[in-house]
Amino acid sequence: MRIATDSSLIIARHVISELQKIVNHKIKSRAVDGSVIKSFDNCREQGLSVVQYLTDKRVSVAECRNSDQIVVWVHDNVHNLDHAKATYFDHGNYKDAAHFMCEQLYGKDK
């Protein structure tokens, strides 16, 4: 017998895994110091956030509560989980969601 993992967290882990590949492969030279992965719960969705304390940025990812889409929120600052701008990606489109998160956190790859 095993304890099941919520599907929203599974989706978030897939996207974060892709984000880590991008960071390790493409932006090795950029400072990602101060970045931390944290869990979040906004009473509707549960997922993961990447918090960049040095630049005061937070980007969160989960499975949308009303569909099987991936939703990524860009927050006003690291402490604010409300009033975030949401961007949606098709189910299973982990790479595009991860690239979007990378751009929001660290800027476009040059």
Domain ranges (residues) in the chain: 7-106
Place of tokens 């701008």: 85
Q: Would you give the DSSP letter of residue 5?
A: P
The residues near 92 (Cβ < 8 Å, ≥ 6 apart) are none
- Would the pLDDT of 31 be above 60? no
Is residue 94 over pLDDT 90?
yes
CA 34 – CA 82 distance, rounded (Å): 22
The set of residues, in sequence order, having a beta carbon less than 8 Å from that of 82 and lying 6+ positions away, is 42
Q: Which two tokens stand for residue 35?
A: 């970045």
Confidence grade of residue 98 (pLDDT, cut at 50, 70, 90): very high
pTM of the full structure: 0.85
pLDDT in tens, 48-90: 999 888 888 889 999 988 888 999 999 877 666 665 688 999 9
Q: What is the pLDDT of residue 110?
A: 47
pLDDT of residue 37: 92
